[in-house]
Structure 1
Amino acid sequence: MEQQFREGDFIETKHGLIFDVKGLVHPPNRVIAFIRYYPSKNGERKGKKQSYKKIYSLSKRYEWLKKNFPEYLVYDQVFNEVLCEVPITDIKKHYTPVEELKRIRNKENPDSLESMIMEMASLLKSSARISWNSIGASGSVMVGLHTLNSDIDLVVYGSENCRRVYSAIETLFKDPCCQLKPYSLDELKRLYDFRSKDTLVGFEDFFKTESRKVLQGKFMGRDYFIRFVKDFGEINERYGDVHYKNCGYGKVEAVVVDDSEAIFTPCTYKVEDVKVVEGPKLQPIREIASFRGRFCEQARSGETVLAQGKIEKVMDRRNGNEYFRLLIGNKPSDYMILKS
């Protein structure tokens, strides 16, 4: 059976580089992924055999690859941009969140982070009544590079399972005795300080969207982030089915008419009444999309948003449909905020 890769997975190359897989659609024999950790004698992350350094921002990831492994940066004609694509022949190990959570559950002496991951996953599993095969643990713990302060990174698979977990968290948030809690104002300020290096919006706009999210918060006092990812059987797009063309940078005002895909990574918001405020005046712009988890839950149906990012022409070769979308999350200047 052909090996499949999706959002939340990590891959390790024969050079010891560790990448996080992005999205659900990948070219034949290659995986779209971003460098996350690289071996370094001065690295602050200690693995079993060597130390690693972590690269945080998207721009730094591209810079590092350009300098050290430029062969991984390739122009992708389907997505019409330079992406990091790792050849499958270079992959030494494929890490998956479901297998990682299984490992943690079977471990005799889990550390403090692993114990919290197990407790939170168990809480969500029982509250939402999903199977162990539908939930996993991602992030640094998956490759043994977590620290005492690492976040809890969980992934839930399958649309129905994701919606059940979402509903369960909303209920759990209302229970004052539950260890699962939304961010407080002070915690959101700290999150803003961390995020503002990579996404430049004011705190007031940041607070309006982030304060009502359930896919992030605290569990037993530790930061958590949950990704909702479609099951392989739900992914009806194959590489090359849809082509994208960069049409420039723009800012739009739009009304969200369908937020049903807003909880997933990648996320999509169907929009109408779109006004192009800045940039190429192209129509119809039918959606705002992002491959970044931080843009999930950003707006709800009926709300008017201001968003800035790359305007792309979407060409669906399966049915001949053509329209435009705004893709956000590639630059620090990209944003999506509620219009007050």
Structure 2
Amino acid sequence: MSGELTAVIAVILIALLFTYTNGFHDAANAIATSVSTRALSVRAALVLAAVGNLVGSFFGAKVAKTVGAGIVSLPNGLPGLAIVAAGLVGAIVWNLVTWYFGLPSSSSHALVGGLAGAALPTAGIVLWGGIFEDVVVPMIVSPVVGFALGFGVMLAVLWIFRRGHPKKLNRGFRIAQTCSAAAMAVGHGMQDAAKSMGIVVLALVAGGFQDDWEIPLWVYLVISAVLAAGTYSGGRRIIATLGRKVIHLGPPEGFAAETTASSVLYVAAMGFGAPISTTHTITSAIMGAGATRRFSAVRWGVAKNILGAWVLTFPAAGLVGAAVAWPLVALLS
């Protein structure tokens, strides 16, 4: 049992590293629009995002169970723990690559891709039905919904405030963005902290230290604290891409995008337990809100690069996960 305990601790430490990279990689999801519209300073926005992530993590149990039990079925003992570790490594590598190039890819899909890739050439079983229903379908639907709702909410804002004074409206929406950014940060915590919690529980089950999918209190506290620390540490490269390079946002567009994205995240997490991508959701909402000016206002070349990173995320993380898992599981079997 001592070997399993050591392996579980190692996997948890790797999961914490993934959570930290998730924090600084996905910090932009919650704060890019608020920073780009100058509603909040970078430091204030990062603090707000970190606190929101901490709060949101306590409402993500459904998402955690989906990630822990619905993606892969693992053998018990060291081989199963090795697969989890390899999947995490795949996700971490892809997070770092896309962070370096400033591309807002999905940490969620990197994690799922890494786990599936690690399980394929080893003793794990990939639950393709669960991946299709809980990952692929939401991956396609959430950006479409985000774009459409972002467009619709922004149209409603334009109509409701059509006689308002532009300077006064911008000032009011900058204040309102503090609330919408906080809501977005809570939604990010519901999704991304929950995914890491699900991985820790998966490791505990594979190591024989737990036989159900309940999340221990210490897992909530540790994961949320690490995600908050990672979020506070930055993400300025991706903030620049989301907040300025896709489209130049004003406070009303920022408010519409954040309100839309946080609503989609809440419904997915608390209603369906679906681990959707916060990155996909906020990016599509930004594009939808910005497109109300004119479709040419969106820099579709940058959007195309982001889409390319989305498409590559699952297979790229999966290849890294498989490359790490194959020799590691063979060594431990």
TM range (shorter): under 0.3
Q: Normalising by structure 1, report the TM-score.
A: 0.25
Q: Normalising by structure 2, report the TM-score.
A: 0.26
Q: Which structure ranks higher in relative contact order (CA pairs < 8 Å, sequence separation ≥ 6)? A: 2
Name the one with the larger strand percent.
1
Name the one with the larger helix percent.
2
